[in-house]
Amino acid sequence: MPLTLPAPCTPDPMAAPTLRWGILAPGGIARSFATALRARTGQRLQAVASRSLPRAEAFAREFGATAAYGSYAALVADPDVDVVYVAAPHSEHHALALLAIEAGKGVLVEKAFTRNTAEAAEVVAGARRARVFAMEAMWTRFLPHVDVVRQCLEQGLLGQVCTVTADHGQQLYPDGPQRLADPALAGGALLDLGIYPMSFAHLVLGGFTSVTATGQLTDRGVDAQDAITVTSASGALGMLGTTMLAKTPTTASICGTGARLEIDGDFYGPRALVRLVAPDGRELDRFVAGDTAYGLHFQAAEVARRVGAGELESPLMALDETVAIMGALDQVRTQVGVRYPGE
């Protein structure tokens, strides 16, 4: 019988319980999140906070939030906010996540979760101590095509996995967002772009036993690009790359002894195409996503389902895995020579 891809089992985001969300830092990713929240979920945007009250008010008007605040502390103190989305630069994730947690709020923290492992561990410990939900906003984990990939791995459809490849490059330096060039904001390619192939490989391989990296730094000391090799306990290899100097194919593959998966256009996003390919190169099956207009709504719905069920984390992006991936990112930065102020 020919091999075929399993159908995705991703729950309908519209069916998730409604939470009242607060957004800290109304920047570009917050705008994408709020757009998806309104278009594809039953979630409610309750409040938004910025250090600039006029900016928060403008965002609130645009997306229909009930309240706008000129301080982050004021938002997390709002009793009508159920869960907080931390959308600030990486350098602020640790402090803002703890601010929300200490106020008794669950948190969805943009990826990369924090600057380093120590900060990640502190946020996780704080959430567990306070008994509130916490999750890294690695939105790719919750997309339908990744559910297909996950099922293929669980069913052993590919045979023994031998190699994983993934890359993520965007032309964002030197003319892109200035935060990517700034060490004080934990800039560089790795935490912004490289987190995608690293998290994907960690999902596929079930963890890393070694991480080897080389990279190119900018004149300000952040990484412009990185080439990374990882190994797993089974002996499988991952070959990963990231750059903010050029647009790369942003594809991924999982190669096993029985078949391989090829993921195109971009592998981490809602428009990805998954192809199941035989060892002789024949395409056996393919999965094409249906609704490709948005993607961030799937993670919001996952948070709502878990919080509604009284759970404190998601098994699809478990907190211990987030900390482990952060540890691998630390190893990459150490090897390429990137250190952020205050570390």
List active site positions.
111
| DSSP conformation class of 173 | T
Cβ atoms of 202 and 317 closer than 8 Å: no
CA 235 to chain centre: 26
| DSSP conformation class of 60 | H
Compute the half-sphere exposure of residue 22: CA atoms within 13 Å on the CB side of its CA. 32
Give whole-number Cα distances, 221 to 34, 38, 182, in Å. Answer: 33, 39, 9
Beta strands in the chain, from DSSP E residues, in sequence order: 20-24, 44-49, 67-69, 83-86, 106-110, 134-137, 161-169, 210-217, 223-231, 237-243, 252-256, 260-264, 273-277, 283-288
Rounded-to-10 torsion of CA 8, 9, 10, 15: 140
Position of tokens 């089992």? 9
